[in-house]
Amino acid sequence: MSATIQSIEAVLVDIPTIRPHKLSMTTMGVQSMVIVRMKDSNGLEGLGEATTIGGLAYGAESPESVKLTIDTYFGPQLIGQSAENINTLRVMLNRSTRGNNLARSAIETALLDLQGKRLNRSVADLLGGAVHRHIPVLWTLASGDTAKDIEEARGLIETRRHCDFKLKIGSRRLMDDVRHVAAIKEAVGESASVRVDVNQAWDEATAAKGMAELQAAGIDLVEQPTPMKDYAALVRLSNKFHLPILADEAVADAKDMYALAAAGFSGAVAMKIAKAGGPMRALEQASVAQAAGIGLYGGTLLEGTIGSVASLHAWSTLETLHWGTEMFGPLLMKDDIVVKPLSFHDHGVDLPEGPGLGIELDEDKLTYYRRQA
Ligand SMILES: [Mg+2]
């Protein structure tokens, strides 16, 4: 049954978040996603998602620019092509377009979903098969209010939804952040792992002081303390402290991972399908990290269910996720655009069953949350 790509639609969707989500560069009250709907000549549909944080606050692509890239560049190249050889299509797009990894990730996801539905196999099967079907997921405490964050953490520990927590810091004075983090760690004690994400907000000297304080407070991991391309600082800090560093914005793909590892970095990497340009490209990065002895962590750009599930299929194929994942994006949103939401329980989430991503769109919800032109 041969199949050609018939149509590609990129839909902007805005869903409010359950609470303000405070990061060093912005505070989010709504999440905007680009949902890709790719139809083939057999009438099957592949879904993909590209999402970022706070418009252009986080990176160079915005939801609006992702839609434009897909509508104007990727769509016309892909329509009419055979949908059956994903690698050929990836090579074609790599030759014609630089960067734009968020848009690329949504397209790669839709191609995998379509291929899986055609072959009646899951996306994880297409990637070699799932090693794990229940994937650990942490929660981010990002209200910015210490008492509220402690209450939220205690509730989640009690219901066994999460036992690992990440705190977004870096927008306040260093010692205010340190007191906030230390108070939360003290409140949850040994029952929970507490990590921080600085989102590049510190210079090296501030990071050195901050890491010394956080190490003393019993924090387990510090994510991207210094600016993204300041590799030398990240390497020096990783050599100076036994508190490990999680490289996030610094490393998008396999080549970045190689460069940072070759410079002497030790620690861990936050893989994101959006940064890398798709689930397959994120796994290429995982291979480089593993070869360099760098720990793996499944990261999110706060994607909704479609993007989170695409990531989960990729992470499920990895033997060891040293630091688990943060695929909680759907829980941060007030509503969902899929028929069956993900099942979060026992400190993790279940990998959906069924062909492709194993996700079905809720057309009414999509219509409701779709941005009006
Ligand atoms: Mg991060």
Annotated catalytic residue within 168, 185, 272, 275: 168
Please give the average per-residue pLDDT across 313-326, as a whole number: 98
Alpha helical stretches, state H, 120-173 = 123-126, 146-158
| pTM across the whole model | 0.96
CA of 288 to the centre of ligand 1 (A): 20
Tens of pLDDT along 110-137? 999 999 999 999 999 999 999 999 999 9
- Residue 20's nearest CA partner among 300, 345, 260, 332 is 332
Q: Rounded to an integer, what distance in angstroms lies between the CA atom of residue 65 and that of residue 182?
A: 40
Q: What is the DSSP string of 229-241?
A: T-HHHHHHHHHH-
166 is catalytic: no
Domain with CATH 3.20.20.120 in the chain: 126-350
The alpha carbon of 360 is separated from its chain's Cα centroid by a whole number of angstroms, namely 20
Q: What is the DSSP string of 285-341?
A: HHHHHHHTT-EEEE--S---HHHHHHHHHHHTT-S--TT-B---HHHHBS--SBSS-
The alpha carbon of 191 is separated from its chain's Cα centroid by a whole number of angstroms, namely 25
151 is catalytic: no
> Contact, 63 vs 33, CB < 8 A?
yes
The CATH number of domain 126-350 is 3.20.20.120: yes
Q: Rounded to an integer, what distance in angstroms lies between the CA atom of residue 120 and that of residue 108?
A: 18
Q: Could you tell me the CATH superfamily of domain 5-121+362-369?
A: Enolase-like, N-terminal domain (3.30.390.10)
CA of 3 to the centre of ligand 1 (A): 39
Domain with CATH 3.30.390.10 in the chain: 5-121+362-369
Evaluate if residue 80 carries a pLDDT over 80.
yes
Tens of pLDDT along 249-302? 999 999 999 999 999 999 999 999 999 999 999 999 999 999 999 999 999 999
Tens of pLDDT along 321-338? 999 999 999 999 999 999
Please give the average per-residue pLDDT across 167-188, as a whole number: 96
Tens of pLDDT along 4-55? 999 999 999 999 999 888 777 788 889 999 999 999 999 999 999 999 987 7
Looking at residue 1, its pLDDT comes to: 64
